[in-house]
């Protein structure tokens, strides 16, 4: 996949009918970031709200109309102490105190949508992948790899048919 951007400067000339004067309008199309990068930057901003010092993760769910439907970030259960103040609870090398950003985003949806795109700062774990796809996510875009490329996960992705892709794999000039 390649995403391209172009920057234009063009001149529009008009002749005023009464005095035959020539007006030139210089119109500049500014370089815009691609929507994938735009939504990923919003996910990175949401991640800054995360309360687990091990990883601050953000997730943005976007509809086909390119409107944000929900956001989420990793934090503790409402009413529970945060990792940042009380420490992480680690089991099998994972903090179990936090609710993952993807789950928080799905919980923040106001209604059920189909064909959502998830923009996540980190590659989703198996459980979050299943939750996202069950919630109607048809495309998953992530920024950082998190080591989830193991056999059974790949088999599950083939069964479900939603293949996450890393935005960083695209050339910087393309996004």
Q: Which residues belong to the active site?
A: 102
**Residue 104 Ramachandran class (φ > 0 left, ψ -120 to 50 alpha, else beta):** alpha
Structure tokens at 123: 């590659």
Structure tokens at 133: 């796809």
Contact partners, residue 172, CB within 8 Å, separation at least 6: none
Contact partners, residue 120, CB within 8 Å, separation at least 6: 43, 57, 58, 59, 60, 101, 102, 140, 141, 142, 143
């Amino acid at each position: 996949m390649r995403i391209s951007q172009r920057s234009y400067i063009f001149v529009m000339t008009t002749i005023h009918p009464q005095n035959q004067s020539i007006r030139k309008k210089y119109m500049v199309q500014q370089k815009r970031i691609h929507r994938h990068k735009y939504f990923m930057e919003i996910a990175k901003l949401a991640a800054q709200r995360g309360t687990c010092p091990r990883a601050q993760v953000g997730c943005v769910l976007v509809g086909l109309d390119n409107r944000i439907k929900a956001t989420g970030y990793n934090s503790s259960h409402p009413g529970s102490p945060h990792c940042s103040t009380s420490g992480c609870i680690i089991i099998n090398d994972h903090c179990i105190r936090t609710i993952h950003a993807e789950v928080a985003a799905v919980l923040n949806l106001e209604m059920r949508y189909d064909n959502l795109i998830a923009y996540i700062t980190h590659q989703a774990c198996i459980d979050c992948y299943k939750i996202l796809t069950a919630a109607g996510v048809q495309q998953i875009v992530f920024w950082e790899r998190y080591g989830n490329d193991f056999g059974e996960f790949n088999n599950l992705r083939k069964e479900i048919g939603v293949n996450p892709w890393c935005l960083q794999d695209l050339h910087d000039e393309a996004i």
